[in-house]
Amino acid sequence: MKMKKNLYKKTLILAASGVVLFTSFGFKSDFFEIAKQIEIFTTLFKEINMNYVDETSPADLMDTAIKSMLTDLDPYTNFWSEQDVQSSRINMEGEYTGIGAALKPDDDILLITEVYKDYPADIAGLKPGDKITKIGDTKVSDFTEGAQTLLNGSLNSEVNITYQRQGKTQQTSIKRSSVELKAVPFYSLLEDNSGYVVLSRFNQKAYEETSRAVKDLKSQGADKIILDLRGNPGGLLSEAINVSNIFLDKGELITSTKSVIEKYNKEYYTQKEPIDTKIPLVVLVNGQSASASEIVSGAIQDLDRGVVVGARTFGKGLVQRPKEIAYGTQLKITISRYYTPSGRCIQALDYRKRDENGEAVRTKVEDYNAFKTKNGRTVYDGGGILPDVRLESSEYSSITRALLEKNAIFNYATNYYYQHNVEDPVTYEFSDADFNDFKAYLKTSDFNYKTDTEQELEELLITAQSEGFQQDILDSYKQISTEIDKSKAEDLDNKKEEIKSVLQDQIIKHYFYQEGLYQNHVANGEEIKKAKEVLNNPGQYAKILQN
């Protein structure tokens, strides 16, 4: 009973801190209504824990309550545990003490998705695809979340790992070291004097590393720049402003933020002296370029400073800020929307509007609004940054996204690694014979996915049943489903080149780390070839920025 009373006390503290949080937002809601609802909730919480027929877990109940409450908002507003706060700090600061590997919780194991070259995990012989089952004497399955934090620790301390590789259980001991997560993992001077810079994340080192790379490339003779933001999920707003500042004059508006809370309505201008405002510039983006990546590419596009090449970006126009709550936890809350210099909000999903399944509604193309760049070019809001030069090779179809989401490509690449010998990342090519082998692999796996059409058909069937049209609709449904299944089988072949490219990338990373992947992209990537084509044709470059 004493333990429960302490838990109730903590809950009341959390509830009280919630009142402080809401009231600090300028009384945007009625204070009495907030206090009333908190009192109802805490009373309910106490009664359930004191009187329910079976033993309850106050922590689990609270976790469920918090997650359910946040479900009605956007997916970026989240409650962060102490482990989540620590993970975020590592991601933003770019340094931590650990083993040097990317990990993904998967059922009762931690799946190693990437090993960083020359860091402890790599030195110990761990590989992508290895499944960690025990850390020291602790089973990963005993943790509901946060097991990966056990791999971090003090410098030079050792941790014993038990893992599975290709069905066999193995053990190793790893000495932890300082791990640096570089914002710019690769840059190179290309043969045509283009400086190629990969910016993979907007952590606290993004501006420092990007500016250093640009300066170094210019000193080597670079007379044009390719900034690669493909797959960059974003990060710090301040770093997005500063990275834009590398190519834009001091005092340029990069973005503005708007909210119902007046103090979050701000304009953000460049504050530094630029490195080069004239050098021809191409920015590469794709569907995984989000948030801060869209701020940079949007500013470059709106101010006609460079040409954006690739595929439509993710479309995340929301700004989050962490708020301290209690006991080392945080609320990461969406506080505003951001707008590009021309006035665009590129947010693709409207979380204020939901369909019958409770899913956020995507802004339709016909509802996009037109805006003008500095030179008078027409650009649109509502669906990410649309590149000036679009490439199909940068766009992922539904079949490719499903293969990635369900780990089919990663798992095949892992098996491939143990069955083949690849000697050179630059010359390696995933062949047609390999692709046929991949299709055979899918037949033996449990891979399956639903198209948007299938989901809509299922909803239609449910509605038809409720209205008494079950048999008539069911016959048509079966016929259409058969055609869809046939079409899905053909999707693999129709998107063959796209899927082969993604498979090739993942396989190269298994053998040659990120560095090998970028070397292959420089030598063979369609996006880089197009970027060089645009940059090496001044007339075409100028025409794009004027049209």
Q: Note the pLDDT tens digit of each residue in 55-105.
A: 999 988 988 898 889 988 999 998 888 777 777 777 777 788 999 999 998
Kindly indicate the confidence band of residue 118, based on its pLDDT and cuts at 50, 70 and 90. very high
Helix (H, G, I), strand (E, B) or coil at 92: helix
The reported pLDDT for the residue numbered 325 is 86
387-415 residue pLDDT tens: 999 998 788 888 898 999 899 999 999 99
Kindly indicate the confidence band of residue 211, based on its pLDDT and cuts at 50, 70 and 90. very high
Judge whether 387 and 534 are in contact, CB under 8 Å. Answer: no
Q: Which of 256, 289, 291, 293 is catalytic?
A: 291
Catalytic-residue membership of 302? yes
368-384 residue pLDDT tens: 999 999 999 999 998 89
Judge whether 344 and 379 are in contact, CB under 8 Å. Answer: yes
Least confident of 6-15, 282-291, 420-429: 6-15
Which DSSP string corresponds to 32-79?
A: HHHHHHHHHHHHHHHHHHHH-SS---HHHHHHHHHHHHHHTS-TT-EE
Average pLDDT rounded to a whole number, residues 11-25: 39
pLDDT higher at 138 or 8: 138
Q: CA dist 382 to 122, 197, 406, Å?
A: 43, 28, 28
Catalytic-residue membership of 316? yes
Q: 527 pLDDT exceeds 60?
A: yes
Helix (H, G, I), strand (E, B) or coil at 254: strand
Kindly indicate the confidence band of residue 472, based on its pLDDT and cuts at 50, 70 and 90. low
pTM of the model: 0.84
Residues of the chain by 3-state class (helix, strand, coil), percent to 5: 45, 20, 35
Helix (H, G, I), strand (E, B) or coil at 127: coil
**H or E segment to which residue 530 belongs:** helix 526-535
**H or E segment to which residue 94 belongs:** none
pLDDT higher at 272 or 457: 272
Number of CB atoms found within 10 A of residue 253's CB: 18
Catalytic-residue membership of 291? yes
Kindly indicate the confidence band of residue 27, based on its pLDDT and cuts at 50, 70 and 90. very low
The backbone torsions φ and ψ at residue 54, rounded to the nearest 5 degrees and listed phi first, read -110, 165
| Angle, vertex CA 346, rays to CA 344 and CA 351, nearest 5 | 125
Average pLDDT rounded to a whole number, residues 39-52: 94
163-174 residue pLDDT tens: 999 999 999 999
The reported pLDDT for the residue numbered 452 is 64
Kindly indicate the confidence band of residue 474, based on its pLDDT and cuts at 50, 70 and 90. low
Q: 23 pLDDT exceeds 60?
A: no
Average pLDDT rounded to a whole number, residues 479-487: 73
Q: 25 pLDDT exceeds 70?
A: no
The reported pLDDT for the residue numbered 469 is 64
The reported pLDDT for the residue numbered 397 is 84
The CA distance from 395 to 400, in Å, is 9
Q: Which of 74, 84, 130, 302 is catalytic?
A: 302
The CA distance from 539 to 545, in Å, is 10
Average pLDDT rounded to a whole number, residues 201-206: 95
Least confident of 16-30, 126-140, 207-221, 508-522: 16-30
Mean pLDDT estimate for the chain: 88
Domains of the chain are 39-71 (no CATH), 95-180 (2.30.42.10), 186-395 (3.90.226.10), 398-526 (no CATH)
The reported pLDDT for the residue numbered 189 is 98
Find the DSSP H helices in 115-198.
120-123
Number of CB atoms found within 10 A of residue 150's CB: 18
The backbone torsions φ and ψ at residue 283, rounded to the nearest 5 degrees and listed phi first, read -110, 125
246-282 residue pLDDT tens: 999 999 999 999 999 999 999 999 999 999 999 999 9
The reported pLDDT for the residue numbered 71 is 87
Kindly indicate the confidence band of residue 6, based on its pLDDT and cuts at 50, 70 and 90. very low
Q: 446 pLDDT exceeds 70?
A: yes
The reported pLDDT for the residue numbered 13 is 38
The reported pLDDT for the residue numbered 7 is 40
Q: Which of 316, 332, 495, 509 is catalytic?
A: 316
295-341 residue pLDDT tens: 999 999 999 999 999 999 999 999 999 899 888 888 999 999 999 99
Any residues with CB less than 8 A from the CB of 207 and at least 6 apart, and which? 239, 242, 243, 245, 246
